[in-house]
Each structure stands twice: as C-alpha cells, then as structure tokens.
Structure 1
Amino acid sequence: MKRALTLLSVLCTFVATLTVGTSASMAATADGGVDCQHVAAPDVPGATVESLTGVDKPAAGGVPARCEVDLYLTHPGVGDHVRVAVWLPSSGWNGRYQGTGGASWAAGVFDFYLAPAVAQGFAAASTDAGTGTNQADPSSWALKADGTVNTELLTNFASRSVHDMTVAAKQVITSFYGKAPSYSYWNSCSTGGRQGLMEAQRYPTDYNGIVAAAPAINEDRLTVGGLWPQVLMNESHDYLSSCKLNAFTQAAIAQCDTRDGAPADGIIEQPEDCDYDPHGLVGQTVVCDGQSSTITTTDADVVAGIWRGPTSPDGRHNPWYGMTRGAALDQVAAITTDSDGTTHGAPFPVTDTWIRYFLKKQPSFDTSTVTRGQFAQLFVQSQNEYNKIIGTDDPDLTAFRNAGGKMITWHGQADQIITPLNTVDYIHRVWSTIGSAADTNSFYRVFFAPGAGHCGLGSYGPFPPDNGLGAVMNWVENGQAPATLPAAMVDGSGATVTRNLCLFPQTAHYDGHGDPKAAASYHCAA
C-alpha cells in the first residue's frame, strides 16, 4: 500500500502553474461571502445536488474563495451512488473548465487536484465513479455479494463516470456564472492519463484540449504485465534486494549515459538503444544496509528477464514489454521478509488487486506464487475479459480530430510503473490509422522525457512542471502547436536542470558546448 500511496504524493509536481487571463465572476455576495444558492441541478439522469458550500476565505496555495458543489449521480438499474465535486472560484474565474482524474484505483483525488486548479482560475471537477477514493484497494466494490465482478462499477471507473462528470460540471458552471466555459481541458497523469485517452476515443467532444500523461493505455495487459518481475523471482527462488536492483540500474546508466554526446548526467537519452548486459556485474559486491552481498548469475538472469519482458512458457515470443534500462526496478520487483526471516515477493498493489479480484475473483489468492504458465493464462484472460471495458488502445482518433480537439502525451523514459514502450506502440498505431505522423501531429503530439520516472516520481531527468497544460492551451486557443515541451527539475546537487522535450520520434542531441544542464545546449533531431 505504501508504494501505491507514494504515487499520489508526486502528482503535485505536474499540476499546472501557468497564469491565465481572468474575467469577473457573478457569484460573490455584497458582503464578500460566496452565494451558492442559485446553482441548479444538472440535467443528467439521476443527478441530485447533495450540498452547496460557500467557502469565503482564501486558503493556502492561492486557493480562492469558492463555491463547492457536491453532486450525486445514479444510473438506472445499477443502484450506484457516484459523487461529483465541482469547485467554482467566486472571483477571478478564467472562463475555462478543467476536468481532473485519478491515481491507481481512485477515479479522482478531489481536493488534491481541485485546489490547484481553482487557484489558477479554473472551474474544476472530480469524480469518485461510485467506487470511493481509496487508490490502493478496490476490495469494497470489485466483487458483488455473489462473488462475480461488479462490471457496472468497473465501467464507471473505466469510462462512464468521467463523461458524466464532464457533462454535469459544464451545466453547473453555466448555472453558476450565467455562461458556459469558453474552453474545457483535461489534465492528468497515469490513471488520469488513461482517462484522458478514453475521453478522446469515446467522448471526443467533451474536451477542447487533453493532457494524457504517462497513460495506462493497455490497462488490461499492462496491469498483469506488472507481475512479471515477481514471476521471475519466484521461479528462480532469488529475491533481489532494492540495493542489488539499484546496482543494476546504475550500471546501465553508467554505460549508456554519454551516448547522447553530452557529459555524464545520469540520464539515458534513448533507453531502447541501451544494450547493457546485466551479467557484467556478476561477482561484484554491493553493500546493502551495512551487509555485503555478491551479485550472482541468477541475479543477473532475473534482471535480464525483467528488461526483456514477459515470454511465453515456451520462451518463443514476448506478449508484453519489459522495463527500460534506467528505470528503478524496486517498484515492481519489491520483496518483503516475514518475522521468521522468510523472504518472498511483494507484487505491486494495483497488479496484485487486479489479479485477485478481477481475474481470480478470490481476494485471498496469493499473487506472489504465480508461475510462468499461470502468468500466461492470466495475461490472455485479462485481455479477453476486460479490453473492451478498460482498454484505451483504440488508435482511431478521427472523431476527436474532426471535433477540433488537441491532445498531448508526455511519458518518462525511466517510468518504473508504466513502460514508455506502451506509449511508443500506441502512437505508431495512431500514425498508421490516421495516415501518417504528420497528419497525427496536427492534433496529437507525443513527447518523451529522458530519465523521468512515473509522472515525475523518482526522476533522474527533467519533466514538464505544468504537465503540459500550458502547451495544450496555447495550441487550442492560439493555434500554436508545441514543437518541444519545456521540462525542468532540481538535481541532487541543488542545481536546476532544464530540457526541451522533443516531439517524437526526434530526440535531444548535445550541441557539443554549453552547460549540459541547460536546455539551450541541446537541439532536437531524428
């Protein structure tokens, strides 16, 4: 659970920080309070206004006085109870609406996303999809009383509730301000990135602009694929410590770091071209928690398998992608030690719960014991049963393009949770479906961030501080498509590192002179 929760802690790093133009609001009372009384219930099936709360004092972080509207929706015959929260700044509304997404098993994270959005002048909304806000555990809703999967709530989580939220929020905004939002934007990462792509694919007129960062595109396969490192450790009875795993990561970075022509900076520019062989560490000693440990051939075999990715039981083909060299391995190859000293695998929480509840339908199932053969069966089962519900791998974005929508995806090359190869595969298929990369770039652009971890978590390299929202707004409102995406971070020495992320498939090349930590010292080229 701790690993799942740490993902949420990093989301603030990509909440947008840009300043946008404002317009006067009509929601302030004469005494400076906030009048929520004239907000009407939206014309959405099953919608009721649960509460209207006027918050008349600005909060920390620049969050203004606001009207907080809590709606509840229900779908006929389902019996669900879906919460939608809409926050409306009482003054300084910029005329725009921002939809916000979730993390892990939460469809929305509410205050965490809503507060910064309204601080920037947006009216904003979030939803719990009727499943609650626990991002680590779906146990309260995944299975019905008879032990079958609650496909209605899974459908809410996968797609339906974000659309419902968007329709309802726009009506509430219109009721509150007396006019509809001029532009609507989606801005989220990970689960929220998947939700953004789902909107573009199934509800192409909901948003003018979408930021779908590090998206869990093929969630039906991606989530099961996250168990592969555990399968390898279980199969070999070799459970690598975080210290050993980090030694392999650092060795790969050391070998492939300077291939971009820049001085060593701890960043692999193109990890797919890094061919570092982990067996080069065999026999070397690492110190873990004060204890010396020697790298074994079995250790190297496990890491090689993680980087190669899942293989079929006969070893003849790869049904999914491995992790990229340079990504931290200990998120999905974690281990735990019992009180009796026994060490075993600790599967990533989202993967663990997906298999236990949605595939095995047995909450007590121990996913750390899954064999290679069982893994292959679970992988196929997940795709067959759930791709149509939660898969966002449809490359046909024609309707979104025709509606005038613009979308940006950025993905860390060192993403330790969702491999960037997932996004590489998707954009290639979009190019083929739309006609070409050039045609696709007219409305959808993808950028990769070398060295950046999942949504910026655990990054060696810079990532977009505003998640790309400023770029997609400029594209939508001013017609200026981004050629690069500005990225930044503060490194271990306290120095600010900047980089302009290149439009895929271009990559950054060092000019041969200038500060290697400055974006101005690089250019983008094929």
Structure 2
Amino acid sequence: MKKNDSNTPDSKILLSLYGAVLAISTFSLPVAADSRGDSPLNFKDQCTSYEGKKIAGATIQSAYPVEEGDKIKRIFLIKKIVAPLDLCRVQATTTDGSDIKIEMWLPEEWNGKFLGQGGGGINGGLNNTESDLVKAVEKGYAGVTSNLGHDGSLFSPGKWANGSMDKVIDFGHRANHVVANFGKSVVSDFYGRAPSRSYFQGCSGGGREALMAAQKYPNDYDGIIAGAPAGDMSSLFSAGLWNATRSHRFPETDSFTDKIEALNAAVLQHCDEIDGVKDGIVSHPPACNFDLESIRCTSGKDTDECLTEAEVAAAKELYAGAKLGSEEIPFPGLPKGSELGWSSFITPGGIGAKRLAIPYFRWFVAGDSDWSIQEFDVKSDYDEAKAKLGDIIDATNPDLSGFIARQGKLLITHGWEDPAIPAGASIRYFSSLQSEMGQAVDDSVRLYLMPGVGHCGGGPGPSTFDALDVIDKWVEEDTAPEKIVVSKFSDDAAEGKAVFSRPICPWPQIAKYDGHGDASLETSFVCTSDVTDASVQ
C-alpha cells in the first residue's frame, strides 16, 4: 500500500470513511488488581509477564507497558499513535491455523468495561479508526481490534480472498467472535474479574461487523454501535458498479464537478427548508420533491449549469436505485443532497468502484484476476454473489431474538448525505427488523439519521457526539434515548469551536425548527413524526 499523505485531497476523502469524531471525557478509575484479587501488582511487571501466554486459542506474541504520551508504533497499517494514558499493549495471534492478528490495550486505570473496535472497507487492520479506540481507552475501556484474519489495507485488492474460504469466513464474521472471546478472557485474567459490560463499535465496514455481531454472536456484546453499516455488502457493491455505469453519462472532465455542483445547488434551493431552517442541508431527503426536469438544458445548449437529457436520465436512475438480480424492489438510491460526494464514490475510477466493488467481485465472487467492470452483469453477478457469500458476509438477518432476549442494545446511525452507502440501506434493514421482531425492536434497536452528514462523518451537518457514552447509558439504565444531540465543530474537530447543534431523532421522526428560537441551538428543534414536505413548491 502506498503511504498516505494526510494533506492530500484523496487522503482527506479516505479519512472521511472512518468513524465520526467522538467527544469524550476522562474518568477517575480504579487501579488494576492481580488475578488472585490480592493487593495490586506492579502494573509494568504484570504486563510483561503476559508475553508468551496462551489464552482462548491465541498466543500473546508481545506484551509491554506504554506510558501516557509515548508513541505506539506500527499498529497494522498505522505508523504510530500517541498513548492516551498508561497502558499495557498486547499483540497476539490465533493458534488454529488462521491469520487473525490481535491488538489489545489494557489501561492501568480500568473502568471495568470492554470494547471491541471494528475496521472499515475490506480491511486488514485497524486503519484509521484508531481515533475511536484511543478515545475509548482514554475513558478507561480495555480495547481490542484485529486484522479480521488477513493483512492488507482498508482498500486491499482482496487477492487474499481468492481460494481461501477460511479467510473469507474470518473476514465475514468469525474473526470478531474469536477476538471477543480472547479479549474478554484476557481482561478477566489481567484484572481479576470479568468486564461488567462489553461493547462493540464500528463504522462502514466496521458497521457491518457490528450488525454481524448482533446477528450471529448475540452473547458477545451488551451494546453495539453500527455507524453507516455496509451490512448488505453484496448488494452495496453490486449497486456501486451499477451506479458507476450510470455515471458514464456525465462528462469525464472537470465539468462533471461543475454539473454536480449545479445539481446540488438546485436541490438545496428547492428542499433546504424542509425542517424550517435555511442552512444548506436537506434535512429529510424523502420529503424532497425536486424535479430534475427543472435543470434540464434547453434549446440544445449544454453548459455547466444544466443537465443534458442523458444526464437527467442518469441522475434519475441514481436517485431511484439499482434493481439487482431477481429482486423486485431496487436497492436504495442516492439521497437528494448527497450529490457533492458522487465524484468520489460512484464514478468508475472512484473509491467505491475501483477500490472496493471491483476487487470484491474480482476476488471474492469470480476468483479471476482478469475480471473487470466491463464484465459486470447486474443480474447474474449479483445472484452469484448472494448465493456464494450472502450468509457469510452480508449482515442482513432480521432475526435478533437472541440479542434482544439478553437485553442487548443496538444503536444504528447513518448520514443522509452518505454517497458511499445510501442511508436507505439502514432504513431497509431497520424496517426488516420491525417486520420480523415486532414491538420487541422498540426497546432494543434505534436508528438515527443525521442530516447533512457524509460517510462516517463530514459534510455540512453536525455529526459529533459521544456514541459510546450513549450506548453505555442505554445499557446501564435500560432507557432508549429519545434524541441524541450532535454538534458541528469548526474543521470537524471536537476540540474546535462549536458552530451549531441539532437533535437527531429516532427514525421515522425528524427534527424541525420550533419557529422562534436560536437556530444554532438544538433546544430550538423538536422531534416530530410530521414529515410533511415543506420544500419550495
């Protein structure tokens, strides 16, 4: 993998794939005790004593103490991370013939709880989701993550999947279960007691991992955070390639960006005030009745300010979604308001097709190094992907009876302006849960859609909130949040200046302006089921 320059536009795009920034505070925590429950051991000596130990089917290859402020080097693909507090770094490998590599951090001041951290894309390591793991450990959580059974990058070519079903199964779901068992076993041994609560968090590919944990391994975690989940990966990548073929109708020049900007401006002009505030955000895309014909070029002219007949047709298809295989209902289309992200994700050379969907079909489905997008057939290739990988990789099972029976809580969040994974995919899964589980879903699962928010963060809308604190409070108090307050900070950094805040409401409610308060404050908005189209007629 090429080294990333964090200052390049591409790197900034890639970084938007990793979880939304969490605003987190620190705790005053108890000192770790030895496994016999006696007086505390010397933390550093206890840490180093774990090297070479075999626990829960894995061998600890290294264990050493790291002091607050020290640099933790080479965590999978990450060069270094600054330790948020004094901790014991543990690295382990499984001993059952798999290639699962585990990274675990055990804070000296432990809060008694355990966290599993997901990755992203077709990941082979922590990648840049380290911010979530760092901030969780800073709160005192014992945290663990893995390479999901293979080495590689977030956008790995995926060659490792060819002819290795064991690695595909590890990636699909098994690795995280193995890691959860290992992590909780280490915690129990190291601190002398089992964690009081266990949580999992992940966004994008990590969101898929989160859903899979709830579906296949309901006893692993008490609370699960699934951000922008790529749950139905086979459908998502099929739709991604279908979208790429539609985007060919737009010019492959700088004018593509200009036309998309013009389209986005027209959408905003028509649908910005659905929530009662003009803020550059389409707050509820399903209520946006923008007509593409209004931006069609007239008198045979083709400028950057209008769309040709072919471009209008392509945009209509992108909004409507792809009809995959023998499915009667199309996969959710791209929401109105998400247009500015299209060039990065839906074009043939964009992130979605080139670095994710094409490798998926080339190596996971076809097993052919010569397979190309020109060979993609939206019916036969989709059907083959579902038949071969559906139960292994696609986290679409609506039966969460095991998870709900043990009082598990599932928090799903998704940005409405996500151009990589349409928010409609999360709505579709949530609806399937309601159909399958009925009212049992009400106390255990919540879906929150974030207006103006891109893929795992970014965009003009507010996305910063402490998701781990929300799930912890929900699990501990058994009361689902009626709303979550999210904030927009300058430069999207939680340590920056707060620009404005909004409530996000449990689906299908939306937040609407009360008509008289300060529009920059969340207290001026109310959650309501009234989603009447308030866009310009």
* Counterpart in the other structure of 2:460: 460
When residues 384 and 3 of structure 1 are mapped into structure 2, their CA distance, relative to the original with a 3 A threshold, is farther
* Counterpart mapping for 1:265-344 below 5 A: 265-283=279-297, 295-311=307-323, 318-327=329-338, 328-334=341-347
Q: Is 1:182 paired with 2:182?
A: no
Tell me the CA shift for residue 410 of structure 1: 1.0
When residues 237 and 187 of structure 1 are mapped into structure 2, their CA distance, relative to the original with a 3 A threshold, is closer
> Alpha-carbon deviations, 1:62-109, whole Å to 9, x = none?
61121111111143xxx322111111112x211111100011111541
Aligned to 2:417, which of 392, 398, 414? 414
AA aligned opposite 2:457: G
What is the TM-score normalised by the length of structure 1? Answer: 0.86
Aligned positions, number: 494
* Counterpart in the other structure of 2:398: 395
* Counterpart in the other structure of 1:147: none
* Counterpart in the other structure of 1:72: 93
Tell me the CA shift for residue 500 of structure 1: 1.0
How far apart are the structure 1 equivalents of 2:415 and 2:16? 17
How far apart are the structure 2 equivalents of 1:452 and 1:39? 43
Identity %: 27
How far apart are the structure 2 equivalents of 1:329 and 1:120? 37
AA aligned opposite 1:310: A
When residues 305 and 4 of structure 1 are mapped into structure 2, their CA distance, relative to the original with a 3 A threshold, is farther
* Counterpart in the other structure of 2:441: 440
Aligned to 2:173, which of 159, 168, 180? 159
Tell me the CA shift for residue 512 of structure 1: 0.8
**Secondary structure of 1:414's match?**
coil
Preserved contact between residue 125 and residue 153 of structure 2 (Cα < 8 Å): no
AA aligned opposite 1:179: R
Preserved contact between residue 485 and residue 503 of structure 2 (Cα < 8 Å): yes
Preserved contact between residue 70 and residue 83 of structure 1 (Cα < 8 Å): yes
* Counterpart mapping for 1:16-55 below 5 A: 17-20=24-27, 22-26=29-33, 33=44, 35-39=46-50, 41=53, 43-45=55-57, 47-55=58-66
> Alpha-carbon deviations, 1:241-289, whole Å to 9, x = none?
22322321232122111122x231111121012121223222389xxxx
> Alpha-carbon deviations, 1:450-473, whole Å to 9, x = none?
11111113x12112432x211110
Preserved contact between residue 87 and residue 106 of structure 2 (Cα < 8 Å): yes
Preserved contact between residue 487 and residue 499 of structure 2 (Cα < 8 Å): yes
AA aligned opposite 2:362: R
How far apart are the structure 2 equivalents of 1:390 and 1:302? 30
Tell me the CA shift for residue 156 of structure 1: 0.3
> Alpha-carbon deviations, 1:129-181, whole Å to 9, x = none?
2211411114341213xxxxx21101101100001000001111112111111
Aligned to 2:501, which of 498, 502, 515? 498
Q: Is 1:425 paired with 2:434?
A: no
How far apart are the structure 1 equivalents of 2:250 and 2:522? 45
AA aligned opposite 2:476: E
Aligned to 2:142, which of 104, 123, 132? 123
Preserved contact between residue 16 and residue 469 of structure 1 (Cα < 8 Å): no
* Counterpart in the other structure of 1:341: none
AA aligned opposite 1:176: F
Q: Is 1:249 paired with 2:256?
A: no
How far apart are the structure 2 equivalents of 1:250 and 1:59? 47
Q: CA RMSD in A?
A: 3.0
When residues 247 and 318 of structure 1 are mapped into structure 2, their CA distance, relative to the original with a 3 A threshold, is farther
Range with bigger deviation, 113-122 or 51-60: 51-60
Aligned to 2:99, which of 81, 84, 87? 81
Range with bigger deviation, 113-122 or 168-177: 113-122
When residues 486 and 66 of structure 1 are mapped into structure 2, their CA distance, relative to the original with a 3 A threshold, is same
Preserved contact between residue 63 and residue 115 of structure 1 (Cα < 8 Å): yes
Preserved contact between residue 229 and residue 332 of structure 1 (Cα < 8 Å): no
When residues 294 and 445 of structure 1 are mapped into structure 2, their CA distance, relative to the original with a 3 A threshold, is closer
Tell me the CA shift for residue 348 of structure 1: 4.4
* Counterpart in the other structure of 1:340: none
| Unmatched segments (≥5 aa) in structure 1 | 145-149, 286-290, 337-343
When residues 200 and 215 of structure 1 are mapped into structure 2, their CA distance, relative to the original with a 3 A threshold, is same
How far apart are the structure 2 equivalents of 1:305 and 1:462? 29
> Alpha-carbon deviations, 1:1-25, whole Å to 9, x = none?
9868833455364345144452222
| Unmatched segments (≥5 aa) in structure 2 | 3-8, 35-39, 72-81, 530-537
Preserved contact between residue 39 and residue 175 of structure 1 (Cα < 8 Å): no
What is the TM-score normalised by the length of structure 2? Answer: 0.84
Q: Is 1:6 paired with 2:7?
A: no
Preserved contact between residue 107 and residue 141 of structure 2 (Cα < 8 Å): yes
When residues 346 and 502 of structure 1 are mapped into structure 2, their CA distance, relative to the original with a 3 A threshold, is closer
Aligned to 2:273, which of 240, 245, 258? 258
When residues 401 and 317 of structure 1 are mapped into structure 2, their CA distance, relative to the original with a 3 A threshold, is closer
AA aligned opposite 2:268: I
AA aligned opposite 1:476: V
* Counterpart in the other structure of 1:484: 483
AA aligned opposite 2:182: A
Preserved contact between residue 51 and residue 70 of structure 1 (Cα < 8 Å): yes
Q: Is 1:471 paired with 2:470?
A: yes
Preserved contact between residue 225 and residue 410 of structure 2 (Cα < 8 Å): yes
Tell me the CA shift for residue 346 of structure 1: 8.4
**Secondary structure of 1:359's match?**
helix
Question: Where do 4+ consecutive residues of structure 1 move more than 6 Å?
Answer: 491-494
Preserved contact between residue 218 and residue 392 of structure 1 (Cα < 8 Å): yes
